[in-house]
Amino acid sequence: MKVRHFLARDRFQTLLDRLVEAGYEVIGPRVRDHAILFEPLSRVEQLPEGITDAQAPGHYRLERSDSGRFFDWATGPQAIKPLTFAPRETLWRSERQPDGRLVFREQPPEAQPTAVIGVRACDLAALSIHDRHFLNDAHPDPHYRERRRNLFLVAVNCMRSATTCFCTATGDGPRVQHGFDLALSELDDGFVMEAHTLEGQAILDALETTSATHDQLEQVEAGIERATHQQTRRLPEGSLPDMLQAAVDHPHWQSLNDRCLTCGNCTAVCPTCFCQTHVDQLSLDGKTSEHGRQWGSCFDPDHSYIHGTVIRAERPQRYRQWLTHKFGTWVEQYGRSGCVGCGRCIAWCPVGIDVIEELAALSIAPEAALSKAPDDAPALATNAAPATTPARPTDGEDTP
């Protein structure tokens, strides 16, 4: 069993100081635009002390609490995905020489040692999935690899869950299990800490800590247990890949035509989505150009554009693609579902679409579901005229 230490609350600043002294830029949770985002952090006063969150389908609000804790919130709209898989970056540049030749120069990734404080279990699980995709392949992504190897992760065990959380259903939380350097469990008077790597142990050894008492360890277990029991959302029983494959023509998909806006919010806040698109930008004088990549979404009509045809032109088709891939075919690719139960897609959907409710509806036999649908409900088309360009994701502001 790993030795666990206790850091008094009034000594938490020393953790930030030791990380800076070790050469890390410190990133942590801060309140901005009525949400909790990961941003540069230098003082404990910048942490969301006494702040909690209220989440529901299509609803996210920050509220004051009397706990005085720094991590008494579940998840914000931003996971750690932007720190490894950049929302937008240049991959290479081209320059036109005086003789007309084009010279192509690779744009090396820019990364510096970064310590992230406040990483949750669901986001560590998502990071593990991204590692499998971007690193464990014949051609690892150099930009992701450079950022990933420079990360120092300070994880936090969840002591409360939002109503949108269901990480217990996916097996990814609320206790952090792997992929971190240091782990914190917050109590009223301080933090129970344990190291998971040699780098984490070096930082822990530089702090003024005491051995965690039996009572403190019991408080930690009680807090994690409380967060577990607060989660009430459950996935349908049985094999989701088999269920979704059988439900490809389910009449329930069409109900999304009047609900889903194809805005892409769910894919923007999802910690595992990694769709991307590539763009070229030419300078005004025509002498240089940049080739970059940026986050994409399977809700964008261009995502399924092939030789003059948008394969998934209707909104229900795009939602079907996303949900079926996330909970079904992802298992074939990575050995597990692409959902880690963070619930962000539920809270940040502007119309409050709940993936748990959608999966439950799709698990009902099509014949039974059809008997509940209006007689004039149209069938889900396989080809249709291109849809309009969807609205872009919001930048962390409250959902209307």
CA dist 168 and 28 (Å) reads 25
Backbone angles phi, psi at 233, to 5 degrees: -75, 135
Residues 251 and 358 sit within 8 Å (Cβ to Cβ): no
pLDDT at position 282 is: 92
Q: Are residues 55 and 125 both part of a single domain?
A: yes
Mean pLDDT over each residue of the chain, to the nearest integer: 90
pLDDT at position 369 is: 53
What are the pLDDT digits (tens) for 191-246? Answer: 999 999 999 999 999 999 999 999 999 999 999 999 999 999 999 999 999 999 99
- Whether 397 is in a domain gets the answer no
- Whether 394 is in a domain gets the answer no
pLDDT at 380 exceeding the cut of 50 = no
Q: Are residues 192 and 305 both part of a single domain?
A: no
pLDDT at position 366 is: 72
Q: Work out the average pLDDT over 14-38.
A: 97
Strand order, beta sheet including 288-295: 102-106, 88-96, 288-295, 276-282
Q: Give the chain's end-to-end CA distance (angstroms, integer).
A: 47
Q: Work out the average pLDDT over 148-172.
A: 97
Residues 169 and 346 sit within 8 Å (Cβ to Cβ): no
Based on the structure, what is the number of domains in the chain?
2
**How many CB atoms are closer than 10 A to CB 112?**
10
* Segments forming the whole domain that contains residue 158: 5-230
Q: Are residues 225 and 336 both part of a single domain?
A: no
pLDDT at position 286 is: 87
- The single-letter code of the amino acid at 117 is I
Q: Work out the average pLDDT over 63-74.
A: 93
- Whether 278 is in a domain gets the answer yes
User: 112 vs 151, 272, 370, CA distance in Å?
Assistant: 8, 23, 55
pLDDT band at 52 (very low <50, low <70, confident <90, very high): very high
Segment among 174-178, 296-300, 388-392 with least mean pLDDT: 388-392
Q: Are residues 215 and 362 both part of a single domain?
A: no
Domain boundary among 176, 198, 230: 230
Backbone angles phi, psi at 122, to 5 degrees: -65, -35
- Whether 35 is in a domain gets the answer yes
pLDDT band at 308 (very low <50, low <70, confident <90, very high): confident
Domain boundary among 230, 258, 275: 230
Prior bond of 174 cis (ω within 30°): yes
Residues 217 and 3 sit within 8 Å (Cβ to Cβ): no
Q: Are residues 186 and 257 both part of a single domain?
A: no
pLDDT at position 313 is: 86
- Whether 331 is in a domain gets the answer yes
CA dist 61 and 379 (Å) reads 38
pLDDT at position 387 is: 34
- Whether 398 is in a domain gets the answer no
pLDDT band at 372 (very low <50, low <70, confident <90, very high): low
CA dist 252 and 364 (Å) reads 9
Instruction: Determine the 3-state secondary structure of 291 from DSSP.
Output: strand
What is this structure's pTM? Answer: 0.87
Segment among 88-92, 376-380, 391-395 with least mean pLDDT: 391-395
Task: List the structure tokens of 116.
Answer: 């992230």
- Whether 79 is in a domain gets the answer yes
Q: Are residues 40 and 174 both part of a single domain?
A: yes
Q: Are residues 211 and 275 both part of a single domain?
A: no
What are the pLDDT digits (tens) for 94-145? Answer: 999 999 899 999 998 888 999 999 999 999 999 999 999 999 888 999 999 9
pLDDT at position 399 is: 33
pLDDT band at 311 (very low <50, low <70, confident <90, very high): confident
What are the pLDDT digits (tens) for 279-299? Answer: 999 999 889 999 999 999 999
* 276: alpha, beta or left? (left if phi > 0; alpha if psi -120 to 50): beta
Q: Are residues 172 and 265 both part of a single domain?
A: no
- Whether 295 is in a domain gets the answer yes
Closest CA to 271 of 89, 131, 62, 110: 131
Q: Work out the average pLDDT over 368-377.
A: 51
